[in-house]
Chains A and B, each alone.
Chain A
Amino acid sequence: MKIHSHHFSCMSRGHASYLTRLFVTLTIGLVPLSGNAGAPEPVPGYERAAVVSALCSGKTKQMTAGINDILTAVSNKAEDSGWAATIISALGHKKLRCSKKTGLALLESGDAYQDPSTLSAVTLDGKAPPAPFVNLRVRANLDVADSLLSLIRDPVGDGAEAAVVVLEKQFDNVHVPLLTLALARITDPDLKARLQVVKALKSLRAPDMDERLAAIAAVAENPTERNRTALVTLRQDAAYVAEDPRLAKALDSAISEIDTWIQVGHVGSVLFSGLSYASILFMASLGLAVIFGLMGVINLAQGEFIMIGSYTTYLVQEFLRHAAPGLLDWYLLIAIPFAFIATALVGMVVEATVIRHLYRRPLMTLLATWAISLFLINLVRVAFGTQNLEFIVPSFLEGGTRVTADFFITWSRLFAIVFSGAVLVLSWLLLNKTRLGLYIRAVTENRDMAGCVGVSARRVDLVSFGIGSGLAGLAGLVLTPIYNVNPNMGTNFIVDSFMVVVLGGVGNLAGTVISALGIGQINIFIEPLYGAVAAKIIVLLMIIVFIQFRPEGIFAVKGRK
């Protein structure tokens, strides 16, 4: 609590009452009320009662002026920010009650009433007077004032970011001196930078031309769509531009600089989205490719294995929610083995009961796996319903970070990319460095020969089908924070997965990776330009054209099929 030194300048009129008020405030300040109570500096013409009656007036101009006076006083250290915050908040929550007839003003605090100027308790006879009407314009000013005051009083707390967001949106209404004070108190560099942008935006209409030019340059350093719009609006305002010959040129160069960065951000955004979609596609397609290369089986139920992975993840979440709520936040990681194993088991059951009998009959297997897909979709539909499942976003995946302009990297997508990278590495290791991988490669290349050297093709089939399904299950797990989960979700991925396999050839990691990347990127790239339909068409056409020249795909492994 700071005690400011008094400032007895032109305060003769309220001198005595001022001292009284000071005494009262100091006394009351010893009792903890909202915020710190420092002895404010007197400001010429400023008086709490006057301001309160302005707020009570119910008239826009007076109320706005009143709010501004309060803020100015606070910025000049003539008013206590705690009182200011209380009164502003009260006005916003209809806790300031004013009677026009008697001039009585009351502050509602819980069940009791206080005098707005002194915050001392007051007993009320009769009914409380009404609260003044706060229209939209005043509301806007109130919100800004509220945010500014909260920043000043609590620059490091949780509410700081929310306050900054409000100020960013309403930079036009910002009270500049108070903003400067807030800037001085903010320690978080990110928030500080954002506040400086707000200040710059406000300064675009500053009276001093040089200040304007500086502001334009400052805004240009923060290339976002919103800032761009602010600058463009000014540029198109003939009256504004006419005020100084340098303004037009400065605005133009600022706008083009922002444009460049927005483009970069846009490209980055698209690449990143494409990458995250591609990683999920990759995991789903890898299983498909391995199974096809090995057994000549195209598994039309692969999409449903993805779905099983997602639903298993959901079950893990629900189980933790009830049995071990402390671990709930980690459900996504805990679910990894479950999603893999559950889906692998389902896959192996399918292989053992159905696929196994359709050896060397690829077209019949297509139909059989289609039937299985139909079965699984309806099974899940009957068991869980058709609605989208609700997933909580784990705290470590919440939000993201901004790279530039409007390009955000969300942690959940990054997780998908990193995860599939790990899967890629593990798959490579499995295929090339383990015995099982050796068997798989052997059976893929020459089934009969492998049998002759003692490799049980049937067992390899079973295990590979399990692994292939498990991979799809992992894809299902990793997409839960990003895409909708419902019984029909598999169909969204299956066509693309097919295309990846057709294009990338079979039984080869590199081919699958590259074609997943290609198809994923193309989809995401074309979609915002021409729509999802066009994206699919173009991918399909490209593949058809490509197949003309290389029917086996990019990296076909020489083998049985």
Chain B
Amino acid sequence: MTDLDSLIEGRGRSIATQGAAPTVAAVLAGLAVLILVTGMLDTGLSVYAMNLIGQAATFGLLAIALDLIWGFGGILSLGHGLYFAIGGYLIAMHMVKVAFQVTGTPPDFMLFMGWTDLPFYYAFMENFFYVALVIVLFTGVVAFVFGLISFRSKVTGVYFAIITQALVYVAMLLFFRNDTGFGGNNGMTGFVELLGASLSDRNTVAVLCAISILVVALALFGLNMLVRSRFGHMLVAIRDDEARLRFLGYETIWVKMLAWCLSGVLAAIAGALYVPQVGIINPRVLSPELSVEIAVWVAIGGRGTLVGAFLGAIVITALKFLLTAYVPELWPFILSALVVAVVVFLPNGFYDLFEVLRRGARRFKGAKTVEAGE
């Protein structure tokens, strides 16, 4: 099997010695600092632009989270919106609780139901550290339970993907109900401040944007090390030939569980960063379509590279934003055409387009004779 062929085939796709991740991480970290500084100095990008970039960054994080288990673990989840939503709803609850403690009145959607007090699960939510802990632990538990049930019963591949779709669909239906204290189909909105800082203030926007980008940089850096560690090797081995790894004496389920829970928590963190910047959360984040879109970002950007997933999310989000502003009718058609084109012709996404061109050029120059494969 030639280098080129294995590249296109996808399976058995090598982890490059270092990859672009650390470089990109460094660049992003620098960008974060730049935005922070210019934001606070009242120069540089507008509040609007920073806010958008921050949101896009959280999508990038979400894509990276999916790439971890899909690109490296071979486990396609079409329901990652669930974890994103958990993080988002939890941070929203925090902001609602803080507002309640200041003003004494519950938010509108609770008033409509005649509630004068917040339900019991809002207890302690005004404490940010508690919320942060809950975000990580609760998501971890949910991911753990679902992962355990599924991996134990050896549900894999397409079946697994379908079940994750069904799960997020059901969660969406649940959250559409108006009596759960989460805002029902209108969701929660009207957030005023986070950690004492007004959400509309330029400094806050800059900080949030910078933090989002920084978290992405950290994730890229950290995950890059992780996938090159022994654990990462195990994960990739599971993707390519789980039976073989089991027959080396490894209980593969725990590797998958760790990757799955980590992926879920990262997605939740992305959600928690997203909601304060977008200012609203509603059950639409739980729509099956959005969860599939996450996979589309990763697929188009390039699975198994971390950077590819990030770029895929950024590019598609930017494209969607631009196109829906000028030709909103056209966007769905463009997206579907893009997905089909990439899936059929560029199985490893655009990231690989560069690789293919680069190696194709080298090959053309006769720099390497490649042995014929099986």
A/B touching: CB–CB < 8 A: yes
> Which A residues contact B (CB, under 8 angstroms)?
292, 296, 298, 300, 354, 357-358, 361-364, 366-368, 370-372, 374-375, 377-379, 382, 491, 495, 498-499, 502, 532-533, 536-537, 540, 543-544, 547-549, 551
A381–B144 Cα distance when bound, in Å, is 40
Q: Are B292 and A370 in contact (CB under 8 A)?
A: yes
Q: Are A371 and B166 in contact (CB under 8 A)?
A: no
- Which one of B201-209, B218-226, B329-337 is at the interface? B329-337
A354–B157 Cα distance when bound, in Å, is 20
Question: Which residues of chain B (165-185) have a CB below 8 Å from chain A?
Answer: 165-167, 169-170, 173-174, 176-177
A363–B298 Cα distance when bound, in Å, is 13
Smallest Cβ distance from B242 to chain A, in angstroms? 14
> Which B residues contact A (CB, under 8 angstroms)?
10, 76, 78, 149-150, 152-155, 157-159, 161-163, 165-167, 169-170, 173-174, 176-177, 288-289, 292, 295-296, 299, 329, 332-333, 335-340, 343-344, 347
| Chain A residues within an 8 Å CB radius of B339 | 367-368, 370-371
A540–B332 Cα distance when bound, in Å, is 30
A363-B76, A540-B170 as given contacts; A371 in contact with B159, CB under 8 Å: no
| Chain A residues within an 8 Å CB radius of B10 | 361
Smallest Cβ distance from B291 to chain A, in angstroms? 10
Q: Are B162 and A298 in contact (CB under 8 A)?
A: yes
| Chain B residues within an 8 Å CB radius of A371 | 296, 335-340, 343
Closest partner residue, chain B, to A370 (CB atom): B292
A551–B163 Cα distance when bound, in Å, is 12
| Chain B residues within an 8 Å CB radius of A378 | 329, 332-333, 336
A364-B347, A367-B299 as given contacts; A354 in contact with B169, CB under 8 Å: no
Q: Are B154 and A298 in contact (CB under 8 A)?
A: no
Closest partner residue, chain A, to B78 (CB atom): A366
Q: A298-B158, A549-B153 are in contact. List 8 more A-B contacts (CB 8 A).
A: A292-B158, A361-B347, A377-B332, A495-B169, A498-B166, A502-B162, A547-B159, A551-B155
Give 25 pairs: A residue, B residue, CB < 8 Å, sorted on A: A298-B158, A298-B162, A354-B340, A362-B158, A363-B161, A366-B158, A366-B161, A367-B295, A368-B343, A371-B340, A371-B343, A372-B340, A374-B336, A375-B336, A532-B173, A537-B173, A540-B167, A543-B163, A544-B149, A544-B150, A544-B163, A547-B159, A549-B153, A551-B155, A551-B159
| Chain A residues within an 8 Å CB radius of B173 | 532-533, 536-537
| Chain A residues within an 8 Å CB radius of B333 | 375, 378-379
A462–B106 Cα distance when bound, in Å, is 59
| Chain A residues within an 8 Å CB radius of B289 | 374
Tally A-B pairs: CB < 8 A.
109
Smallest Cβ distance from A270 to chain B, in angstroms? 21
| Chain A residues within an 8 Å CB radius of B159 | 502, 547, 551
B335's partner among A374, A536, A537, A544 (CB-CB below 8 A) is A374
Q: Are B158 and A547 in contact (CB under 8 A)?
A: no
B153's partner among A296, A358, A370, A551 (CB-CB below 8 A) is A551
A367–B294 Cα distance when bound, in Å, is 11
| Chain A residues within an 8 Å CB radius of B329 | 378, 382
A296–B329 Cα distance when bound, in Å, is 33
A377–B331 Cα distance when bound, in Å, is 13
Smallest Cβ distance from B11 to chain A, in angstroms? 9
Q: Are A495 and B153 in contact (CB under 8 A)?
A: no
A543–B173 Cα distance when bound, in Å, is 18
| Chain A residues within an 8 Å CB radius of B158 | 292, 296, 298, 362-363, 366
Q: Are A357 and B161 in contact (CB under 8 A)?
A: no
A502–B164 Cα distance when bound, in Å, is 12
A368–B150 Cα distance when bound, in Å, is 25
Task: Please give me the 5 A-B residue pairs with the lowest Cβ-Cβ distance, nearest first.
Answer: A371-B339, A375-B336, A371-B336, A378-B332, A533-B173
| Chain A residues within an 8 Å CB radius of B176 | 533
A296-B158, A363-B157, A364-B299 as given contacts; A357 in contact with B344, CB under 8 Å: yes
Q: Are B343 and A536 in contact (CB under 8 A)?
A: no
A502–B169 Cα distance when bound, in Å, is 16
A495's partner among B152, B166, B332 (CB-CB below 8 A) is B166
| Chain A residues within an 8 Å CB radius of B344 | 354, 357-358, 368
A366–B335 Cα distance when bound, in Å, is 15
| Chain B residues within an 8 Å CB radius of A292 | 158
Q: Are B296 and A367 in contact (CB under 8 A)?
A: yes
A298–B159 Cα distance when bound, in Å, is 9
| Chain B residues within an 8 Å CB radius of A357 | 344
| Chain A residues within an 8 Å CB radius of B174 | 533, 537
Smallest Cβ distance from A415 to chain B, in angstroms? 30
Smallest Cβ distance from A110 to chain B, in angstroms? 56
